[in-house]
């Protein structure tokens, strides 16, 4: 059973289809890439999956459980976490507290979920390599690092499914390099990761499988090398008819 299953989801804004019968699956222990030109509907899909937006049709399930109508917080408790393309950090907290508060929130779910927040925070900071800026105000750090803070924050809730919305945008090449290694390690630890990213060298390197979204529809699904050579995908990216 896939960790996350989106089946036949459609979203309409006014007269336009933002998503049209989109079906994707994200498996445990691997990175699933979701790529597509701007405006293809990737962030909309993430909003539907996390419950910030209700689809006009279709189903979302987490670990086989239907969550289409569940509130965002409920989905988080079932193991879902995400980052935001347009950063949604807690700007009056330090980097460390941004991460820590996610653990606080998790501990608010109930006794059975409790973790040692202080210890876990330091572990995640270490894991994501944020030690040098942990004490700083999040508003003062560069975008590239801020995205890693969002990833670190979402890891604090101990998710089983992680949605990353352009985590590498704004990162330097070295940062992206390190980030790719981190993604690999997270996937190896059993996490199901869905990665939306425009940095194709990163996507191609870490993804086991790719979904290509175009005009709100799934254009292609396959391994990276298949996608890279798919004429339809190249056409979608560079424009013009296939």
Partner 1 sequence: MTAPVTDDGRPIEGGAEPILELVGVRAGYGAIEVLHGVDLVVPRGSLVALLGPNGGGKTTTLRVCSGLLRVASGELRVAGRTVNGAAAHDLARVGVCSVPEGRGIFPNLTVRENLWLATGTGVARDRVESVAFDRFPRLGERRNQLAGTMSGGEQQMLAIARALATEPVVLILDELSMGLAPLVVSALYETVAELASSGISVLVAEQFAKTVLPIAQSAAIMLHGRVVRVGEPAAVEEELASAYLGG
Partner 2 sequence: MHLFLTYTIFGLVLGGVYAIAASGLVLTYNTSGIFNFAHGAEAMLGAFLYWEVRYGWGVPTPLALILVLGVFGPLMGGLLYLVIMRGLRNTAEVTKVVVTVALMLGMLYLSEWFWNPQTDRTVVPFFGITSQVKILGADVTTHELIALGTAVLIGLGLRLFFYRLRIGVAMRGAVDDPGLLELNGHNPERIAALSWAMGSFLAVLAGVLLTPISGGALQANSLTLLVIDAFAAAVFGRLRSIPRTYIGALVLGLAASYVLAYSPKTWQWASNFRVSLPMIVLFVVLIVLPQDRLRGASVARTRERAHLPSVRSAVIAGAALVVVVVLLRQLMNDSDITTITLGMTFAVIALSLTLLTGYAGEMNLAAVSFGAIATMVSYHIGVTGHGLASRSTLWGIVVGVIVTAVVGAVVSLPALRLRGLYLGLATMAFGVFLTDMVLMDSNPHRIPLIHTKFSLFSGGAGINSLVIPPLRIGPLDLHDGTTFLVTATVVFAVLGIGLVALRNSSYGRRLTAMKDSPAASATLGQSLLRLKLSVFMLSAAVAGLGGVLMSMALGSVTPDNFSIFLSLSLLMLTVVAGISYVSGALMGGLLSGVGFALIVSTFHDLASRHGSVHGLFSFLASFATVTPALIGIGVGRNPSGSVHDFVDSYRSLRHRPRVLVGGGAVEAVLYVLSLTNVLGHWWFAILTSVLVMFLPLVGQMSDPARREQEAAAVPLELAGIDSPYSDGLRAELDRALGIEDLLPPERLARSRRNGRRSDGSGDRSMTEPLGAGVGDAGT
Residues that bind partner 1 (CB under 8 A): 14-16, 37-40, 139-140, 142-143, 146, 166, 169-170, 172-173, 198-205, 215-216, 228, 234-235, 237-241
CA 99 to chain centre: 16
By beta-carbon proximity to partner 2, the closer residue of 116 and 229 is 116
CA–CA gap between residue 197 and residue 155 (Å, rounded): 18
The binder of 72, among partner 2, partner 1, none, by C-beta within 5 to 8 A per type, is partner 2
By beta-carbon proximity to partner 1, the closer residue of 128 and 207 is 207
The binder of 201, among partner 1, partner 2, none, by C-beta within 5 to 8 A per type, is partner 1
- Which region among 2-10, 43-51, 59-67, 219-227 touches partner 2 (by CB under 8 A)? 43-51
By beta-carbon proximity to partner 1, the closer residue of 106 and 211 is 211
- Which region among 67-75, 123-131, 177-185, 224-232 touches partner 2 (by CB under 8 A)? 67-75
Question: By the 8 A CB rule, do 168 and 176 touch?
Answer: yes
Answer positive or negative: Cα dihedral of 91, 92, 96, 100: negative
CA–CA gap between residue 49 and residue 189 (Å, rounded): 22
Q: Nearest distance from residue 204's CB to partner 1, in Å?
A: 5
Number of residues that bind partner 2 (CB under 8 A): 54
Q: Nearest distance from residue 178's CB to partner 1, in Å?
A: 16
Using CB under 8 A as the binding rule, whether residue 93 contacts partner 2 is answered as yes
Provide the binding-site residues for partner 2, judged by CB under 8 A: 13, 16, 18, 36, 38-44, 47, 50-53, 71-73, 75-77, 80-82, 84-93, 97, 100-102, 104-109, 117, 139, 153-154, 156-157, 165-166, 196
């Amino acid at each position: 059973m896939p960790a996350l299953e989106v089946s036949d989801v459609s979203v309409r804004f006014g007269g336009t289809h933002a998503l049209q019968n989109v079906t994707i699956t994200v498996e445990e222990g691997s990175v699933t890439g979701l790529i597509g030109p701007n405006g293809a509907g990737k962030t909309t899909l993430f909003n539907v999956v996390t419950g910030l937006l209700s689809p006009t049709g279709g189903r979302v399930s987490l670990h086989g459980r239907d969550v289409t109508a569940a509130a965002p917080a409920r989905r988080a408790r079932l193991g879902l976490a995400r980052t935001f393309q347009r950063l949604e950090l807690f700007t009056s907290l330090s980097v460390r507290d941004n991460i820590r508060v996610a653990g606080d929130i998790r501990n608010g779910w109930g006794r059975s979920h409790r973790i040692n927040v202080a210890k876990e925070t330091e572990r995640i900071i270490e894991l994501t390599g944020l030690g040098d800026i942990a004490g700083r105000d999040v508003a003062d750090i560069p975008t590239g690092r801020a995205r890693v803070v969002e990833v670190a924050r979402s890891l604090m809730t101990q998710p089983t499914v992680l949605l990353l919305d352009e985590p590498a945008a704004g990162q330097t090449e070295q940062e992206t390099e390190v980030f790719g290694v981190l993604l690999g390690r997270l996937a190896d630890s059993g996490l199901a990761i869905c990665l939306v990213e425009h940095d194709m060298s990163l996507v191609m390197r870490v993804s086991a499988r790719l979904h290509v979204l175009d005009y709100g529809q799934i254009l292609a699904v396959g391994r990276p090398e298949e996608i890279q050579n798919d004429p339809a995908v190249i056409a979608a990216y560079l424009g013009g008819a296939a």
